[in-house]
């Protein structure tokens, strides 16, 4: 036993929740996708032959919806931390419904674009808008599925202050999608 006492005990090295960490890595790769497409946009625009058109006004509305949805999501997160489960249910449902509303808004924006003769097929300046909004929409659809999963586990009483990992990850992803949309919108406004 004496020999054992003299053995130095190494410490556990730095570590965080592996799933949350993996979520951030996933977000990194999504960032790279959008970074590459927006930089392709800049490179392509610099070459000329670029159709200039007005962005549909409905995008302002959907941006607002996205911000409110993010606020709802954060409310859900804070309520879960305080074990206020009823509020969590309301807040997540709100965030989900607003997420769906956002997607509808994006579809209306596409319809507006078609009405003003900007099509997916044609000058790349239009194609890029469809591509960026569409790709963001697909990621947002994934986010809505994630929200529904969290909503179901809230109803099963699996989301509370001692079990925050899932809702934390969902909050992270949802805020990220909101931030990503604002980036894309501002980008499209600035680089016409």
Partner 1 sequence: MSTEDTMHNNEHDHEHHGNFWTTYVFSTDHKIIAKQFLISGIIWALLGGALSVIFRLQLGFPDMDLTWLKPILGEWIDMQGKLDPEFYLALVTMHGTIMVFFVLTAGLSGTFSNFLIPLQIGARDMASGFMNMLSYWFFFVSGVIMFISLFLETGPASGGWVIYPPLSALPQAMSGSGLGMTMWLLAMALFIVSTLLGGINYITTIINLRTHGMTFTKLPLTIWAFFLTAIIGLLSFPVLLSAALLLIFDRSFGTSFYLSEIYIGGEALPNIGGSPILFQHLFWFLGHPEVYIVLLPSLGITSEIIATNSRKPIFGYRAMIGSMMGIAILSFVVWAHHMFVTGMNPFLGSIFTLLTLIIAIPSAVKVFNYLTTLWKGNLVFTPAMLFSIGLVSYFISGGLTGLFMGNSAIDIQMHDTYFIVAHFHLVMGSAAFFGMLAGVYHWFPKMFGRMMDAKLGYVHFWLTFIGVYLIFFPMHYIGMAGFPRRYYSWTNFDTFNGFTDLNMFVSVAAIVTFIAQFIFLFNFFYSMFKGRRATANPWKSTTLEWTTPINPGHGNWPGDIPKVYRWPYDLSKPVNEEYSKKLSEKEIQEMPDFIPQSVPFSKTPETNFQNENELIALEKEENKAIVVNEEK
Binding site for partner 1 (CB under 8 A): 5-19, 21-22, 25-26, 28-30, 32-33, 36-37, 40, 43-44, 47, 49-51, 120-124, 127-128, 131, 135
Q: How far apart are CA 26 and CA 170, in angstroms?
A: 13
d(CA 188, CA 63): 13
The residue (of 38 and 87) whose beta carbon lies closer to partner 1 is 38
- Taking the complex as a whole, the smallest distance from the CB of residue 40 to partner 1 amounts, in Å, to 6
Closest to partner 1 by CB, 7 vs 190, is 7
10 Å CB burial of residue 35 (0-12, 13-18, 19+) is exposed
Strand partners, 163: 160
- In the bound state with partner 1, the residue whose beta carbon lies nearer, of 29 and 115, is 29
**Nearer Cβ to partner 1 (12/162):** 12
Alpha-carbon Rg of the chain, whole angstroms?
A: 22
- Quote the least distance from Cβ 67 to partner 1, whole Å: 26
């Amino acid at each position: 036993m004496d020999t054992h006492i003299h053995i130095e005990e190494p410490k556990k090295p730095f570590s965080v929740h592996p799933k949350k960490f993996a979520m951030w890595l996933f977000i990194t790769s999504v960032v790279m996708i959008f970074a590459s497409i927006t930089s392709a946009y800049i490179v392509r625009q610099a070459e000329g032959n670029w159709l200039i058109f007005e962005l549909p006004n409905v995008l302002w509305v959907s941006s607002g919806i996205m911000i409110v949805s993010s606020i709802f999501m954060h409310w859900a997160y804070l309520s879960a931390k305080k074990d206020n489960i009823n509020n969590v249910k309301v807040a997540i449902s709100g965030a989900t419904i607003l997420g769906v509303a956002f997607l509808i808004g994006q579809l209306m924006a596409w319809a507006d674009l078609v009405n003003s003769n900007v099509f997916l097929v044609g000058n790349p300046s239009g194609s890029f808008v469809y591509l960026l909004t569409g790709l963001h929409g697909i990621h947002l659809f994934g986010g809505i599925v994630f929200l529904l999963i969290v909503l179901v586990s809230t109803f099963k009483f699996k989301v509370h202050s001692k079990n925050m990992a899932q809702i934390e990850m969902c909050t992270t992803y949802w805020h990220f999608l909101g931030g990503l949309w604002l980036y894309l919108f501002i980008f499209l406004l600035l680089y016409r």
